Amino acid sequence: MNHPHYIAGHWQQGQGAEIISVFEPATAKPYAELRAASTEQVDQAVMAARQALPAWKTTSSSQRASYLRGFAEAIGKRRTALIEQQMRNNGKPRHEAEVDLDDAIATFSYYAELTEGLDDRQNHPVALAAPGFSSHTRLEAIGVVGLIVPWNFPLVTSAWKIAPALAAGCTVVLKPSEVTPLIELVYGQIADELGLPPGVLNIASGKAEVGAALSAHRGLDKLSFTGSNAVGSRVMHSAAEHCRPLTLELGGKSAIIVFDDCDVAQAVDWIVAGIAWNAGQMCSATSRLLVQDGIADALLQRLAEALDGLRVGNPLEQDIDMGPLTSQAQWHKVGEYFAVAEHEGLRCLAGGRQLHGPGWFVAPTLYAAVPGHSRLWTEEIFGPVLCAQRFSSEEQAIALANDSHFGLVATVASADLQRAERVAAALEVGHVWINSVQAVFVETSWGGSKASGIGRELGPWGLSAYQSVKHVTRCLG
* Secondary structure letter of residue 184 according to DSSP: G
70 phi-psi bin (left φ>0, alpha ψ -120 to 50, beta other): alpha
Active-site residue (options: 24, 96, 170, 283): 283
Question: From residue 36, how far is each of 181, 226, 327, 345 by CA, in Å?
Answer: 10, 20, 18, 44
Distance in angstroms (rounded) separating the CA atoms of residues 368 and 370: 5
Check if the beta carbon of residue 446 is closer than 8 Å to that of residue 460.
no
Amino acid at 279: A
Which residues, at least 6 apart from 277, have a Cβ–Cβ distance to it below 8 Å? 96, 285, 438
Q: Cα(232)–Cα(405) distance, rounded to whole angstroms?
A: 15
Instruction: Give CA–CA dist 314/293, Å, rounded.
Output: 38
Q: 96, 178, 249, 457: which one is catalytic?
A: 249
Task: Decide the pairing of beta strands 449-450 and 431-434.
Answer: unpaired
Secondary structure letter of residue 281 according to DSSP: -
SS3 content of the chain, % helix, strand, coil (to 5): 40, 25, 35
Q: Is 283 a catalytic residue?
A: yes
Dihedral (Cα; 84, 89, 93, 97), 10-degree rounding = -60
Residue 249 among the catalytic residues: yes
Pair 132, 144: CB distance under 8 Å: no
Count CA atoms closer than 13 A to 319's CA, side-chain side: 0
Q: For the chain, state the CA radius of gyration.
A: 23
Alpha helices, H only, 309-391 = 328-344, 375-378
**Alpha carbon distance 173, 405 (integer Å):** 31
Closest CA to 105 of 143, 162, 188: 162
Active-site residue list: 249, 283
